[in-house]
Structure formats: structure tokens, C-alpha cells
């Protein structure tokens, strides 16, 4: 594949992510409002723009999780997930995320300076933006710790199981937070969610 073709595929995948998130947001809000009587907790936010800004940042922790663990976990997953990874995630990871990782980090942390600290957005949106930063840091830290372990551990069966477990933990946090954001609710991840709540209430 030519460089131009690879860049075009990466750009298309990133745009598709933004569009897909918006469609998922519309569907989630429509279904949630239709079956609201099934829920004990009401949605805390209904403004689509605020919801959209709240869930979009979780894409970066998602890429970080697969950058740290995905390549080594894929052989243990179903073929359909392997194809999805090779066709959509891998081009973005190898084409832009790894080479321009600092740019993604700046984009993520700029949320704090531009939106969170000045209180320019509603508390719900700022909560999820800050939450995405802490989830990213947790995911990065897990990756750093795992790959700092000796090769004779990471390359044996127990190391592979630990890698699978790390990806599972990271994806559980991200998916939980993403779904809660789509529904207009706060997350309930131990330590991380509490840290975000305390920080926002502190100023």
C-alpha cells in the first residue's frame, strides 16, 4: 500500500470514529429515553454536544490500550476481532499514533487547560474529560510496568495471560466509562472515579 493510500485509510478511520460515536450517541439517548422507566438512575445530561464532548476523548485511551497490549493479545481472540484490528486499528496505530504519540497526548491533556480548569463546560462533560485523562494515565502505567518486566516472563504463558488480563482491565474501564457517558451518567470505577469527583469538587 502506498504512503498516500495508508494515510488516507488512517484519516478515514479517524473520521469514521467521530461519526460512529455520534450515531451511537443518538441511538443510546433515543433508547434510554424510550425505556427510561427501566432505569433507577436518571440521565444527568441531555445536551448532545456536551455528551459528544464527554465521550470522544475515550478514543485515545482506547488506542493506548491496544498499542500496549493489542498486538500480543490478538492471536488469542476470535478471527473477527483480529480482522477488525488488522483492518482498522493497526493502520492508525502504526501510521500515526506511534509516530505522533506526543500529539495525541497534547490533545488529551489540553482538555484540562482549555475546558476543565476554566469551567467552560458543564460539570458532567468536565468530569468525563478528566476521567479520560486518568484512564489514559492508568493504561499507560500498566503498559510501562508490564514491558519493564523481564523477557523470560513476558514471553512465556504467564506473561501472555498477564498481557491478556491487562488489556481486559483497560478495555473494561474504557467501555464502562464510554457507555456511562453515552447515557449521560457518571462512572463508577474505584479510585479513578472518586479521584475525579474529589478534584472537581475541590475548586
Mean pLDDT to the nearest integer, 188-201: 90
Mean pLDDT to the nearest integer, 77-104: 84
pLDDT of the residue at 16: 83
Mean pLDDT to the nearest integer, 60-87: 88
pLDDT of the residue at 66: 92
Most confident of 71-75, 86-90, 144-148: 144-148
Cα three-residue angle 65-69-71, rounded to 5 degrees: 115
pLDDT digits (tens, 9 = 90+) for 30-57: 776 676 554 555 566 668 888 899 999 9
What is the rounded CA–CA span in Å between residue 60 and residue 110?
13
pLDDT of the residue at 96: 78
Assign 3-class secondary structure to the chain. Answer: CCHHHHHHHHHHHHHHHHHHHHHHHHHHHHHHHHCHHHCCCCCCCCCHHHHHHHHHHHHHHHHHHHHHHHHHHHHHCCHHHHHHHHHHHHHHHHHHHCCCHHHHHHHHHHHHHHHHCCCCCCHHHHHHHHHHHHHHHHHHHHHHHHHCCCHHHHCCHHHHHHHHHHHHHHHHHHHHHHHHHHCCCCCCCCCHHHHHHHHHHCC
pLDDT digits (tens, 9 = 90+) for 118-130: 887 888 999 999 9
* φ, ψ (nearest 5 deg) of residue 189: -95, 125
What is the pTM for the complete model shown?
0.85
pLDDT band of 6, cuts 50, 70, 90: low
Amino acid at each position: 500500500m502506498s504512503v498516500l493510500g495508508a494515510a488516507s485509510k488512517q484519516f478515514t478511520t479517524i473520521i469514521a470514529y467521530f461519526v460512529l460515536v455520534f450515531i451511537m450517541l443518538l441511538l443510546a439517548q433515543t433508547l434510554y429515553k424510550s425505556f427510561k422507566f427501566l432505569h433507577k438512575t436518571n440521565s444527568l445530561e441531555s445536551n448532545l454536544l456536551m455528551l459528544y464532548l464527554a465521550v470522544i476523548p475515550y478514543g485515545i485511551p482506547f488506542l493506548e490500550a491496544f498499542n500496549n497490549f493489542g498486538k500480543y493479545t490478538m492471536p488469542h481472540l476470535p478471527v473477527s476481532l483480529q480482522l477488525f484490528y488488522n483492518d482498522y486499528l493497526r493502520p492508525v496505530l502504526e501510521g500515526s499514533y506511534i509516530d505522533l504519540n506526543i500529539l495525541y497526548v497534547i490533545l488529551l491533556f489540553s482538555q484540562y487547560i482549555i475546558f476543565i480548569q476554566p469551567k467552560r463546560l458543564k460539570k458532567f462533560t468536565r468530569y468525563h474529560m478528566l476521567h479520560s485523562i486518568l484512564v489514559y494515565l492508568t493504561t499507560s502505567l500498566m503498559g510501562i510496568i508490564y514491558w519493564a518486566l523481564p523477557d523470560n516472563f513476558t514471553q512465556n504463558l504467564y506473561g501472555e495471560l498477564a498481557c491478556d488480563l491487562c488489556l481486559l482491565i483497560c478495555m473494561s474501564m474504557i467501555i464502562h466509562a464510554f457507555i456511562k457517558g453515552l447515557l449521560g451518567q457518571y462512572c463508577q470505577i474505584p479510585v479513578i472515579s472518586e479521584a475525579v469527583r474529589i478534584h472537581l469538587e475541590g475548586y
